[in-house]
Amino acid sequence: MTIIDITRKILHEGPICDHCLGRQFAKLSTGLSNDQRGAALKLVSSMHAGAEKDEELKELLAKNAIIPHFNEGIKCWVCNDLFLDIDDWVKKSIEALSDYEFSNFLVGTKVTGLLAENEEILWAESGTTFAEPLKTELNREVGKRIEKITGKKAYLKKPQVVVLLELENNTVEVQVNSLYIYGRYRKLIRGIPQTRWPCRECGGQGCERCDNTGKMYPESVDELIKPHLLEAAQCDDTAFHGAGREDIDALMLGDGRPFVVEAKRPHKRSIDLSALEEQINMGAEGKIEVLGLKFVESETVEKLKSMKVDKVYRMKIIHNTTEEKLKSSLNVLCQTPIKQSTPTRVLHRRADLERIRKVHSADLESYDETTAFLVINCEGGLYVKELVSGDDGRTIPSVASLIESEAKVIELEVIKVG
Ligand SMILES: [Zn+2]
Ligand SMILES: [Zn+2]
């Protein structure tokens, strides 16, 4: 079937605009817009009809090859003259976007059932070999104009904002993708959880026990960061993603624990991160400290969550054994795979699993008859409190099992992550 034949078939279906006609041949030539392509097809068809004295084609062209603005009262049956409104959609989009800072964007279209059906009817007749969908053209045409007016780039892979043209109700919706900031935090005092911990009594509603705060602890690392980011990014909310977490009563020292904080629906993206860092640290009054803030992509969150890294802990323990016995037990720990069942203290929220973890090094830093300081370098995911206490035989071996008497961690610091 020649191109003229296909054009004739399409014109048989009813009045059609240049955009919709040209779009059926979109894959046949590049460097043209669909309406240019459609106008060219109409011209060539009419020359063909003249040369071949093809009266039927002549008549079809006169009746159905509509030219918007000239064929008054006749609308394109495929798009219902949607493409006459492009500038309107552009205007609406730019207005909706004006609230947000962005350097790249994407246009999407939610077509109506009616338009989708029209297109299917047309494709059943003319075939889809060379065609592109209506929304692809609308997205591109609106996108090109937004690029021209705003100087921002359309970006398919990872747009910061997506303008969604809702044809059904003639409105525009802006989807704003999150902004991600990576950093490391140090926790300098005990008793602060990483994220908000809902009150056990009321589940967050607020009660007498929690002084109507709805939480177990007045502050968390997350909450010490949140208000500063809310203000800097002018976002609706934030989410905190940590690379693991330390116990509430453990310090996080050294160069800190990696985290990513996510600003949801940010109005601002060009944030001065060193100023933000300073504000967070001033506000935290020595309780926590963040460092090395930098912008990252969303994938970093996944990487952070699945990151299995070594940790170094410093801990104070109580015991009643000799220095020699304690030293030799630490030596055994470094040479034996540690078999560990989920600790009793977290069993209520974690599955009961058995895992094998390694202790890379275990050193005795100082000793007296009842207490000692240990520095333990181990694989991530090892519960070190249980490595000392043995957790009633759920961790084997342990300091307690090796010295054959009780041992317990009373102070814990993380001095290195990764
Ligand atoms: Zn049309
Ligand atoms: Zn409560």
CA of 216 to the centre of ligand 2 (A): 7
The domain boundary, picked from 284, 306, 328, lies at 306
Q: Specify the pLDDT at position 127.
A: 80
Asked if residues 333 and 361 have their Cβ atoms less than 8 Å apart, the reply is: no
Catalytic residue among 247, 249, 363, 391: 247
Closest ligand relative to 34 C-alpha: 1
For 108-150, write each residue's pLDDT tens digit.
999 999 999 999 999 988 887 889 999 999 999 999 999 999 9
Instruction: Decide if 255 is catalytic.
Output: no
Look at residue 122 and tell me if it is in a domain. yes
Rounded to 5 degrees, what angle do the CA atoms 179, 183, 184 make?
150
pLDDT (0 to 100) of residue 68:
62
| 16 and 149 part of one domain | yes
What is the number of other CB atoms lying within 10 angstroms of the CB of residue 299? 10
Of 401, 386, 399, 414, nearest in space to 330 by CA: 399
Q: What spacing in Å lies between the alpha carbon of 20 and ligand 1's midpoint?
A: 4
User: Which CATH number goes with the domain that contains 392?
Assistant: 3.30.70.3190
300 and 331 in one domain? no
Write the CATH number for 236: 3.30.70.2510
Residue owning tokens 């490595």 = 387
> Which residue in 192, 217, 184 sits closest to 285, CA to CA?
192
Mean pLDDT (the chain, rounded): 93
Distance CA 364, CA 372 (A): 7
Region 69-82 average pLDDT: 83
- Residue 370 and residue 322: Cα distance in Å, rounded? 9
Q: What is the pLDDT of residues 361-373, one digit of tens each?
A: 999 999 999 999 9
Q: Give the residue-averaged pLDDT of 226-244.
A: 96
Task: Report the domain count for the chain.
Answer: 3
Ligand 2 centroid, distance to 51 Cα (angstroms): 87
Mean pLDDT of 82-92: 95
Distance CA 151, CA 400 (A): 67
pTM: 0.84
**Residue 92 counted as domain residue:** yes
d(C-alpha 315, C-alpha 377), whole Å: 11
Print the domain residue range for 271.
179-190+217-306
Q: How far apart are CA 50 and CA 155, in angstroms?
A: 45
Ligand nearest to the CA of 134: 1
CA angle 129, 40, 38 (to 5 degrees): 50
Least confident range from 159-168, 250-259, 301-310, 311-320: namely 301-310
Among 252, 278, 306, give the residue marking a domain's end.
Answer: 306
Same domain, 160 and 184: no
Q: Give the residue carrying structure tokens 């002549």.
A: 58
Q: Residue 42 is encoded by which pair of tokens?
A: 């109409």
Residue 197 lies in a domain: no
233/381 same-domain check: no
Residues in the 5 Å CB sphere of ion ligand 1? 17, 20, 76, 78-79
Confidence of residue 42 (pLDDT cuts 50, 70, 90): very high
Give the tens place of pLDDT for each residue, 17-41: 999 999 999 998 778 999 999 999 9
Span from the CA of 217 to the centroid of ligand 2 (angstroms):
10
The burial class, CB within 10 Å (0-12 / 13-18 / 19+), for 140 is middle
Q: Answer whether 146's CB lies under 8 Å from 165's CB.
A: no
Q: Is residue 241's pLDDT more than 80?
A: yes
Provide mean pLDDT across the span 55-70: 84
